[in-house]
Chain A
Amino acid sequence: QKEVEQDPGPLSVPEGAIVSLNCTYSNSAFQYFMWYRQYSRKGPELLMYTYSSGNKEDGRFTAQLNRASQYISLLIRDSKLSDSATYLCAMSSSGSARQLTFGSGTQLTVLP
């Protein structure tokens, strides 16, 4: 069993929709939780990170962490064409971790 499981998708949604992307994890040593966005033929870029249970908001994006259920999610509101990308959850045991453990990614397409 993988340490991080991510809903595989792919997802297609219309512009303006609300999208929820989800990951579960089995390693209780994970302390920091990140969401990366990866456009085609590009490297991943960090969107958000969290380490506290609850919600963290940044504009149209909300990261949710539920440590009890070992579950994280990324909510995208008012989705835009430019949100079309692969979203990767990543986890680490510390803020200056030497390695990240990634989920397999969810490919999101926002349709006009």
Chain B
Amino acid sequence: DTGVSQDPRHKITKRGQNVTFRCDPISEHNRLYWYRQTLGQGPEFLTYFQNEAQLEKSRLLSDRFSAERPKGSFSTLEIQRTEQGDSAMYLCASSLGEDGWAGGRIQPQHFGDGTRLSIL
């Protein structure tokens, strides 16, 4: 299966520690997205890459969060000085991307199974 892969699946850490998550997208996909999902809520957009360029960032992405996609393939999301409120599922998605009117077609975002972050 060559779907979106995320590692680790679960991370438990103490408040104040730094954590880093990795996402490996579907190989031919040039777009990569990070979302955060808390219990009982839908995913919320955090940031998006087109190849290696980070083109959009949500206001949810505070200064403690940083994302990279250095070679336009895998991506990492780092959270510094973790807080209780950072406890959530962090989802990565990838898609093909093209700008302009797609004539009714959709470029679906394919999601990984997420990294569940628990802050003690």
Task: Tell me the A residues contacting B by CB distance below 8 Å.
Answer: 4, 6, 32, 34, 41-46, 49, 51, 88, 90, 94-96, 98-105
Task: Tell me the B residues contacting A by CB distance below 8 Å.
Answer: 4, 31, 33, 40-45, 48, 55-56, 58, 91, 93, 95-99, 101-114, 116
User: Beyond A102-B43, A104-B40, is A96–B104 a contact (Cβ under 8 Å)?
Assistant: no
A4 CA / B108 CA spacing, docked (Å)? 19
A46 CA / B33 CA spacing, docked (Å)? 15
Q: Is the interface of B mostly helix, strand, loop or mixed?
A: loop
Decide: B108 and A101 in contact? CB cutoff 8 A.
no
Can you sample 7 A-B contacts with CB below 8 Å? A43-B4, A43-B91, A49-B106, A96-B102, A96-B107, A99-B45, A100-B109
Q: Which 10 A-B pairs have the closest CB atoms?
A: A102-B42, A43-B111, A95-B102, A99-B45, A96-B107, A95-B106, A43-B113, A46-B108, A98-B48, A44-B111
